Structure 1
Amino acid sequence: MAHGPAPTVPTDVHHPRPQFVRPGWVDLSGPWGFAFDDGMVGMHDDWHDGDPAHFDRRIQVPFPFESPASGIGDTGFHPVVWYRRTFTAHERDGHRLLMHFGAVDYRAHVWVNGQSVAYHEGGNTPFTADITSALVPEGEQVVVVRAEDLPGDLRQPRGKQDWQAESHAIWYDRTSGIWQTVWLEEVPAARIRALRWKPDADGRGVDMDVRVRTDGRDGARLRVVLRQGERVLSDDVYSVDRGQVQRRITLAEHDMSLGHSDLLWSPEHPNLIDATLVLLDGDEVLDVVGSYTAVRSISASRDRLLLNGRPYYLRLVLAQGFWPESHLAAPDPDALRREVQLVKDLGFNGVRLHQKVEDPRFLAWCDRLGVLVWAEMPAAYEFSVTTIQRLTREWLEVLDRDASHPCIIAWVPVNESWGVPALERSPEQQNLVRALYHLTKSLDGDRLVIGNDGWEQPVTDVVTVHDYASRGQVLRDRYADWDRLEHTLARTQPAYRVVLLAGASREDRPVLISEFGGISYDPDQRAGWSGYGSVRSSDQLLAGYQDLVHALLDSAAVVGFCWTQLTDTQQERNGLLTAERVPKAPVEQIRRITTRVSAAVPGDAVDEFSYGDYPPGGPREPSPDFRIEGVGADLDPR
């Protein structure tokens, strides 16, 4: 047991990296200089030097230029764009200045004061530049970003971003360039570099993997303090071995309540464990990082899904994370909390993030409010060697970024054979799906992996089916019991697609209807896409919702569902909420339908826990704004 009080870092759900927080960061959101480069002359003409004459527009970062919130709102084809802004900073001995980018779609090249500091490919994942050596001693610093996003390149992971000039069917206006937070962080030269948590529910503990940059301090040690509320669960000091600390931390179980431990995380009891990591050299504190983790298990066994070892029924809703004013970027940080709260209010215990890698702050709210997450890789739409390389590289970055979030229970590398259109007959495309499945399992063997969600599954932990039957009786005929379900998988083939490919079998894998419903109702009667059927009133929407949802809840064989969808998204008007997040029917009535007991798991405890009363480790006030010594932010681009 370590001695002396440990420093603490207040958990900050508005921090762009909520599970790895230092008390001091500068948000570079706001107005930047901006320019289209349709002629692709910027590199030749040295725009990276930062001459303000080249940047004839202003854009509000982090909103994509296609969105109204950016101040530009141009949805046309502009494959290359440039950004410029100034900030103030100076170098301090023993410290480094990092510039973080949450996401830039698709290729990003970054210069500071004319020096190249970073290049990144992949539109959904973060990257960091150490800009210390590029700083000038006096005056303003200038950062320039070149972003390239080819609208018609179907080999790059793009998700629902349309490749046509106008959004069509189920594809939407694009999100190009910077679309997540850009921020500065001053760090010590000897510092904690990376952190990963892995729950060990069976052993009532957590596995910790910490990477450290010792900067020549051979005697560096790491103190780790875990707390739940005011109770200290663990406080120990570990030696740093070759820049790494790997430990399994066992936590004492206490206070049995309602037959389960208050250490376990679930949607009904989102118990989090706050963590403080302190890098030490003797008695000198080198670095302090705040984080959090949880104890939770998920598995599939004997036709059932088990959460923390107990059968659990999934009530998911499909969410695309698209706002009319800001596209894939959240219009403000609190919009992410409101989105998660709406999922809870409607009675769902989970969300399927569809064709989007969500902002880490959204996942942090899912962790804190108690919402399960299926995380999905945005698709490319052409099978090629280039596609395989891009998809695999970016998927690995997604896994690395999000592996510590307890809310995530399933990884989905491919959806509906997008990007592998000949999957049923092509051994090469089947091998890609199998490879992504096994690669994911090798890196994270404790979560569910669905190789290809919806149909044509060569390998999966859960058999998932997309079935947009318009009447509840059709769903009952297909899924009411095991005999009918097996017949449906083998013979009926919803959407005229085989569910399991040759060589794959259901065995005792659970079955989940991972897309259904999709009833369109537009109170404003705007023109839109209604590919799954439409109704003309709120009452008809409620009746259709109840008919379809209760048909699956009546099934003794199906272990969960995912309703399409949470919100309207551009021309797709099949949300339970409008695009502006206004409910189309009374929330309590939707909730009553969603939370009715299921035949498959009749003992599941819906609403056992009032999520407004946060348990230990739950939400708290965000930490006050800190300012890094020597770093300022000039919001006026020059």
Structure 2
Amino acid sequence: MHRLPVRILCVIFFLYSITAAAEWKPADGPLKTRWSRDVGPNRVLPDYPRPQMVRHDWMNLNGLWQFDTTAADAAVPEGKTLAGEILVPFPIESSLSGVMKPADHIWYRRTFKIPSYWMNRRMLLHFGAVDWETTVYVNGEAFGPHTGGYDGFTFDITNALKPDGEQELIVKVVDPTDSGAQPVGKQVRHPQGIFYTSTTGIWQTVWLEPVDSLHITTLRMTPDIDNALLHVAVEAAQPGQVKVTVLDGRRVAGEARGEAGKGISDPIPVPKLWTPEDPFLYTINITLSTDGKQRDVVTSYAGMRKVSLGKDAKGRGTILLNDKQVFLLGPLDQGFWPDGLYRAPTDKALKYDIEMEKKLGFNMVRKHVKVEPERWYYWCDKLGLLVWQDMPSPNPDNFKNARTPESDRQFEIELERMVKGLYNHPSIMMWVVFNEGWGQFDTERLTKKVKDMDPSRLVNNASGWADFKVGDVADIHSYPGPESPSPETQRAAVLGEFGGLGLPLPPHTWTAARNWGYQNLKTTEDLGLRYAELLEGVHQLAADSGLCAAVYTQTTDVETEVNGLMTYDREVTKLNPSLASAVNHDKLPSPPRVLTPYRLFIDTTSIPLVTRKHEEIRYTIDGSEPGRGSILYQNPIKLAKTTALKAKSFGDRGQSSRVVEATFTRTEPHPAAPGGKSLTRGVQYRYYEGTWRMLPDFAALTPKSSGTTDSLVIGRIKASEDHFGIVYNGYLRIPRDGVYRFFLLSDDGSRLVIDRDTVVNNDGTHWPTEKRGEIALKAGDHPFTLSYFEDFLGDVLELSYEGPGIARQPISPDQLFHE
């Protein structure tokens, strides 16, 4: 047999690679980013994937792999060519994988060669992340399985390697997605609403790394600015001597020696502190030696900063960065991409989102129920963006039925891995254990566990809804908001989600229809004005209620959810960045605030105005725009007729606020029903089942059931967890004449009609959202209709009111009657 020369084999392999690359192309998806054109079989995420423990020698295994979706229990396909090709590390469901098809199990296969000068070293095979259960075969030898979709893992494959030639690598992945109770974040097989397309299989970089038999395995760094020390713990495969050198540029800022497996404290006299405004990073060089011989060298970096709780001037809990009070403002960041789903197309794309968040004037970001590749945190460290890191949630819809002791253990294991794996990043300032009660269990114990693992950061027991009064913050969600939790002395009050202002901008949308936001707007100008209004509310809450942080929903549109600051393809930034930054940093004059909550009055009314920063207020009541020459506000404005008020505040430097407009309408109260009616306590109801996005015409539908009830508690009537509707009809007893405000909180849509007038319209599919309206009423009984529907995932309906001499309170059964 004749053997071909090595050069000819290399040429043949090169030509094959070129041919394969020429044949590959992304699948045709609904939308793509500008960075997708920078992706191809020979240019797939070439950057070193572990920036906090860098070695010079490594081999990137990203690129075209073979794949098949034959049964997970099929025989390992050793030596076999698989049916298709997939671009690793993009999820099989993504356009950039070249496949864009769902799967719950995948076989991957490729071959590689080890450089001859690596062959006398240990060979580590690294996976950045694979979703979900992974078994690896190298030349037929099995490694694993590893379970978990968000953490990196490594196998020492040295003993499975052949002395030379092609090495075969096969990866088997099984992923139950939302049919299981494992951490999955917002991935679902059937995307809708706030849940998005799933990620299955390899979705972060795969790489090889040669190391000495004595090598560094893990690195843990804790800044201690109080004592000007950097505490470093180096673990190694075997005992050895460690030297830690801290560099400020080329200058040695500190140096310390110790033993592997033991803590080392490196003094850094007068350390430069890391902040979002000045994210200074020290370079850290670590060498591992035995008997004076260097065995391993890694390069890292560290930021000297301190995160803690303190008290503000009024004794309320507050958040401190480097012992200084800091207000945190940032977006909710889902980390999804239209062409790569969980995986950004390129490192530049990953960096772009963080740059835009900084440009928009944010100092923080909440990474929402997803763990990113390490390079995302690297850019947050380097560019200066603080991070609230969520633990990915189990799927909330199926959790109660699918939860097992094994799934609880798996959640806890992945929680531990997240904290340990991301520990060294100075940008991360808070761990969020649960989101909105999704898959929530053992909250007190798990919150304490995370705090014990990492006392250098804050811990949020649950962002929104299900607060167990433990951890470092009290966190609520409010759409569109804003609101603040009640101030506490031992915890900081934070608004974990608010906003959600929706604005679809074709052709930059995932679909042409069914796009939604928590509050929909029509133009970028409308969006800018409404955003400024929300942020003024946030700044007011910070001053009045001690609010310490606010998270706006969200960085980008994601699939049909169009409440992003940017479109899903990142082509359009919906807010003017310089104006948004000025609003976020509170650099503009604060707009006038109307202190009276009512816009209706019966005889006369008095309108007091204030500004948060005590600026001069000018106003008009003739419909004209207010200016410097308009009426100067000095005392509450007296009105006796319907009036359109416009007001604006003016700062010392000639800047003015936006115009605040309010129309105050003189009205007559609606008369009560005639006194001769015979009424019975309770209300009538009709119950329906169906799927709607808006309130239907219930009168045209046939109810599943009907009857009377003594309250507006939907749990007493509903026969299904999802996809139902209820209409209540009856009379509402009003105690005295006057103007009343009604508050309607619902998930999903609702509408309140009194005396044939729509008082509150809270229609559409949305999470718990409160809207309010007012009406003038005479004392007595008034006919009302309350309509409601639930789409999916949680049902809420609450009606409350306030009026003359009556503080806000729920509608009581004593006020409900029917004929």
Normalised by the size of structure 2, how large is the TM-score? Answer: 0.62
Q: Give yes or no for contact 1:13–1:365 (8 Å, CA) kept in 2.
A: no
Structure 1 residue 245, shift from structure 2 partner? 2.9
Match of 2:292 in 1: 283
Residues 1:356 and 2:383 aligned together: no
Aligned to 1:528: 514
Match among 468, 481, 502 for residue 479 of structure 2: 468
- Residue identity opposite 2:445 in structure 1: A
1:402-440 CA deviation, whole Å, 9 max, x = no partner? 0010000000111000013xxxxxxxx3xx111110110
Distance of 1:195 and 1:338 partners within structure 2: 28
The equivalent residue for 1:561 is 550
CA distance in 2, matches of 1:237, 1:71: 50
Among 107, 113, 116, the residue aligned to 1:88: 113
State yes or no: 1:577 paired with 2:555: no
Deviation per residue, 1:442-461 (Å, 9 max, x gap): 11011100011112211120
Instruction: Give the aligned residue type for 2:290.
Output: D
SS of 1:547's equivalent? helix
Change (3 A) 1:13 1:146: closer
Gap change, CA 1:565 and 1:507, over 3 Å in 2: same
> Is 1:539–2:529 an aligned residue pair?
no
Matches of 1:136 and 1:252, distance apart in 2: 51
Paired AA for residue 250 in structure 2: E
CA-to-aligned-CA distance 1:244-273 (integer Å, 9 cap, x gap): 1312222111xxxxxxxx611110111111
Q: Which residue of 2 aligns with 1:201?
A: 225
Equivalent pair of 1:90/1:135 in contact (CA under 8 Å): no
Q: Counterparts of 1:417-428 in structure 2 under 5 Å?
A: 417-420=437-440
Paired residue secondary structure (1:339) = helix
SS at match of 1:124: coil
Alignment CA distance shift 1:100-1:196 (3 Å):
same
1:513 match: secondary structure:
strand
Pick aligned residue for 2:242 from 222, 225, 239 = 222
> What secondary structure, in the 3-state scheme, does the structure 2 residue paired with 1:446 have?
coil
Amino acid at match of 2:505: P
**Distance verdict in 2 for CA 1:446–1:237, change over 3 Å:** closer
The alignment partner of 1:266 has SS state of coil
Structure with larger Rg: 2
Report the equivalent of 1:511: 493
Deviations 1:275-319 (A, max 9, x none): 101112233211111011121111112221100000001011110
Q: Deviations over 1:577-619 (max 9, x none)?
A: 00011202322122221121699x99xxxxxxxxxxxxxxxxx
What is the match of residue 414 of structure 1?
A: 434
- Tell me whether 1:45 sits opposite 2:75 in the alignment: yes
Aligned to 1:143: 169
Whichever residue aligns with residue 46 of structure 1, its letter is V
Deviation at 1:531, TM superposition (A): 4.6
Paired residue for 1:18, among 40, 51, 72? 51
Q: Distance in 2 between matches of 1:147 and 1:121?
A: 10
1:150 Cα shift?
1.2
Indicate conservation of the 8 Å contact 2:58/2:208, yes or no.
yes
Structure 1 residue 94 displacement after superposition:
5.0
Query: Which residue matches 1:250?
Result: 267
- How far off is 1:202 after superposition? 1.1
Distance 1:413 1:335, change over 3 A: same
- Using the alignment, how far apart are the partners of 1:185 and 1:370 within structure 2? 30
Evaluate the alpha carbon distance shift between residue 359 and residue 562 of structure 1 in structure 2; reply closer, same or farther with a 3 A threshold. same
AA of the residue aligned to 1:357: V
Deviation, 1:398, is 0.6
- 1:435 aligns to 2:445 (yes or no): yes
Structure 2 residue matching 1:137: 3-state secondary structure: coil
Determine the C-alpha separation between the residues in 1 that align with 2:374 and 2:504: 31
Q: Paired residue for 2:123?
A: 97
The equivalent of 2:203 in structure 1 is 179
Displacement of 1:153 in angstroms is 2.2
1:213 paired to 2:237: yes
Aligned equivalent of 1:127: 153
Give the root-mean-square deviation of aligned CA atoms: 2.0
CA distance in 1, matches of 2:294, 2:537: 59
Asked if 1 retains the 8 angstrom alpha-carbon contact of 2:256 and 2:264, the reply is: no
Task: Specify whether residues 336 and 344 from structure 1 end up closer, same or farther in structure 2 by C-alpha distance, changes over 3 A only.
Answer: same
CA spacing shift, 1:13–1:347, aligned 2, 3 Å: farther
C-alpha displacement at 1:138, in angstroms? 2.7
Residue 379 of structure 1, CA deviation: 0.6
Partner of 1:399: 419
Residue among 348, 355, 359 paired with 1:334: 348
Other-structure match for 2:382: 368
Paired with 2:218 and 2:409, the residues of 1 have a C-alpha distance of 25
Task: Name which of 86, 92, 96 aligns with 1:65.
Answer: 92
Within 2, Cα distance between the matches of 1:461 and 1:29? 41
Distance, in Å, in 2 between the alignment partners of 1:440 and 1:347 is 30
Give, in whole Å, the separation in 2 of the partners of 1:93 and 1:167: 47
Q: Does 1:322 align with 2:312?
A: no
How far residue 237 of structure 1 moved from its aligned partner, in angstroms, is 2.7
Aligned residue pairs: how many? 526
| Gapped regions of structure 1 (runs ≥ 5) | 1-11, 254-261, 421-428, 480-484, 490-505, 603-638
| Distance in 1, Cα, partners of 2:46 & 2:444 | 36
- Taking the aligned partners of 2:489 and 2:577, their CA distance within structure 1 comes to 39
| Distance (Å, rounded) in 2 between the aligned partners of 1:542 and 1:275 | 43
1:90 Cα shift? 5.9
Corresponding residue to 1:304 among 318, 330, 334? 318
Contact preservation (8 Å) 1:94, 1:189 = no
Q: Which residue of 2 aligns with 1:617?
A: none
Q: Is the CA contact 1:528–1:573 (under 8 Å) kept in the aligned structure 2? A: no
Query: Residues 265, 193 of structure 1: CA spacing in aligned structure 2 closer, same or farther, 3 A cutoff?
Result: same
Residues in 2 aligned to 1:28 and 1:93: alpha-carbon distance in whole angstroms:
18
Other-structure match for 1:190: 214
**SS in structure 1 at match of 2:581:** helix
For residues 127 and 456 of structure 1, the distance between their equivalents in structure 2, rounded to whole angstroms, comes to 32
Distance (whole Å) between structure 2 residues aligned to residue 353 and residue 146 of structure 1: 29
Q: Given residue 181 of structure 2, which amino acid in structure 1 is its aligned partner?
A: R
> What percentage of residue pairs aligned between the two structures are identical?
34
Residues in 1 aligned to 2:379 and 2:529: alpha-carbon distance in whole angstroms: 31
Indicate if the aligned counterparts of 1:103 and 1:124 stay in contact, CA closer than 8 A: yes
Q: What 5-or-longer segments of structure 2 have no aligned partner?
A: 1-44, 312-316, 591-611, 614-819
One-letter code of the match for 1:596? Answer: D
- What secondary structure does 2:497 align onto? strand
Q: Which moved more, 1:380-389 or 1:550-559?
A: 380-389
Query: 1:434 and 1:13 mapped to 2: Cα distance?
Result: 42
Q: Runs of 4 or more off by more than 4 Å in structure 1?
A: 90-94
Higher relative contact order (CA 8 A, sep 6+): 1
Q: Which residue of 1 aligns with 2:61?
A: 28
Conservation of the 8 A alpha-carbon contact between 1:125 and 1:397: yes
Q: C-alpha distance in 2, partners of 1:30/1:544?
A: 45
CA-to-partner distance for each residue in 1:460-492, whole Å, 9 max, x for gaps? 20111101136xxxx4xx55xxxxx63xx8xxx
Contact 1:83 1:145 in 2 (8 A): yes
What amino acid is the match of 2:319?
A: L
